[in-house]
Chains A and B, each alone.
Chain A
């Protein structure tokens, strides 16, 4: 009895430590890989942690035109993403199942977007304005794809609880590598857009006119900026986590292995996806704004295929 309790507590601690500490490392991995691709040594892997700490100790400047929205957005977004990290199935090892409802997860993500967009409009700068405008446009195109991929998975397992649908004990989904793989691809493509990564947005550009996410957070500084960045890193962890879980489910091996291997592999696969983001960013170019719907369409097409598979699975 006590032993199981201790194990549960240890698992919980490991889980919390993972999702609090892993996100900056992912960014470190992406930056390092990109640097190696460009034949540079690049900053150390742990540099994002140092950056965050540095930002926390700086003095803050905020625009006098802003309201409470601007001041509270970062804190709200970090808390929302922490809640999401507890709910969403981004790793196979979750010490508790709190009932991750599919629509709740999507709408919590939308809530973070609501606040981000408003805080971008708050200072009244042109950059924040068009960043916000582009963000809602991209979200509009991506949202149906994300929800359809997840809903197709949920529909096959006949529950909208992602915790159950993504658990490796769920027999309804055991022989569906096609569904899992296509859903994983669709979600990964959608995440690239949602996370403002390369084909949609260049996170390292210094040209404000082409930015989306960076343009929105232009007015943030110091601790506030640190929180915004951290929230973004957390979002990367969660979204990449969900897509990597889909891809892991596609491989039959993981259905028959033990918890520890699964937990390790789910962390490892998130890192692999981070590396693949870096590879994509190194070999691809940022698409023109008008060409973006063409890219997102692939994600939507994947979600339509998922829907077909889900419909044919439940033939009666």
Chain B
């Protein structure tokens, strides 16, 4: 089977997302995230090219500027300020979680073959495979990490997965909705980043596994 270019790009972004899982070094995580999002921006642009829906070019630029560039930059500065370099890691070790993530890629291939109603032949639904794998990766990232900043990255990866799924299945939503979503993500990250400062200030750490006192 021959891959379409946009499917190949979607796979590249899925692979970069899985590579995020492999290390607990936060800055490396962010650069992998940035590469991953760039690949998603490229997917969007390529779909725009195929379907001739020009507003998707704008969305691609928006994804690139906001998600691939400014969010990592902002989070990087947060890391620098709160002075935390690596994540403690929880439950399973980072290498192992990366291998599980890689297996999830195979699993999502199987799943997307089974789901009825998706675009494309059951054998070649690589776009939805990639999207689903990114979704799983994000969940895995949030599950296996301890530092709050990794939770933010995990959330962003999940969001990317959902976005990729929408883009590959519907070939783009109206521009206004896309832009609204992008801004919303940006604001959410900003808020989460600012929250981090306060968490760090009041608890001296950003370990979410120890933030268990908010029950009841």
Q: Which residues of A contact B (CB under 8 A)?
A: 175, 178, 182, 293-294, 296-298, 300-301, 304-305, 308, 311-313, 315
Contact = CB atoms under 8 A, between A and B. Distances in A.
Interface in B8-46: 8, 11, 15, 18-19, 22-24
Contacts, number: 48
B88 interface: no
A312 B109 contact: yes
Contacts of A293: 93, 95
Contacts of B103: 304
Given A294-B94, A308-B102, 15 more contacts: A175-B2, A182-B15, A294-B24, A294-B93, A298-B19, A298-B22, A298-B98, A301-B18, A301-B98, A301-B99, A304-B102, A311-B106, A312-B1, A312-B109, A315-B1
A91 B49 CA distance: 39
Nearest to A177: B8
A176 B99 CA distance: 23
B3 interface: yes
Contacts of A178: 3, 8, 11
A308 B96 CA distance: 18
Contacts of A296: 95
Chain B CB within 10 Å, residue with most, of A175, A304, A313: A304
Contacts of B184: none
Interface in B149-194: none
Given A178-B3, A304-B103, A305-B102, A294 B22 contact: yes
A297 B98 contact: yes
Given A301-B98, A315-B1, A294 B8 contact: no
A11 B99 CA distance: 44
B94 A308 contact: no
B19 to A, nearest CB: 7
> For chain B, what secondary structure do more than half of its interface residues adopt (helix, strand, loop), or is it mixed?
helix
A296 B23 CA distance: 11
Nearest to A296: B95
B53 interface: no
Given A300-B99, A301-B98, A304-B99, A313 B1 contact: yes
13 contacts: A175-B2, A293-B95, A294-B22, A294-B93, A294-B94, A297-B94, A297-B98, A298-B98, A301-B18, A305-B105, A308-B102, A308-B109, A312-B1
A219 B102 CA distance: 43
Given A298-B22, A315-B123, A305 B94 contact: no
B30 to A, nearest CB: 17
B1 A301 contact: no
Is the interface on chain B under 10, 10 to 19, 20 to 34, or 35 or more residues?
20 to 34
Where chain A touches its partner, the secondary structure class is helix
Contacts of B95: 293-294, 296-297, 300
Interface in B85-110: 93-96, 98-99, 101-103, 105-106, 109
A296 B95 CA distance: 8
Contact of B106 (A182, A300, A308, A315): A308
Contacts of B106: 308, 311
B22 A301 contact: yes
Contacts of B123: 315
A308 B105 contact: yes
Contacts of A294: 22-24, 93-95
Contact of A297 (B1, B22, B109): B22
7 closest Cβ contacts across the A-B interface? Answer: A297-B95, A304-B102, A301-B102, A301-B98, A294-B95, A293-B95, A297-B22
A175 B22 CA distance: 29
Contacts of B22: 294, 297-298, 301
A299 B101 CA distance: 14
A305 B8 CA distance: 13
Contacts of B94: 294, 297
A85 to B, nearest CB: 33
Nearest to A292: B95
A312 B8 CA distance: 13
Nearest to B102: A304
Contacts of A311: 106
B19 A301 contact: yes
A312 B2 CA distance: 10
A196 B66 CA distance: 41
Contacts of B105: 305, 308
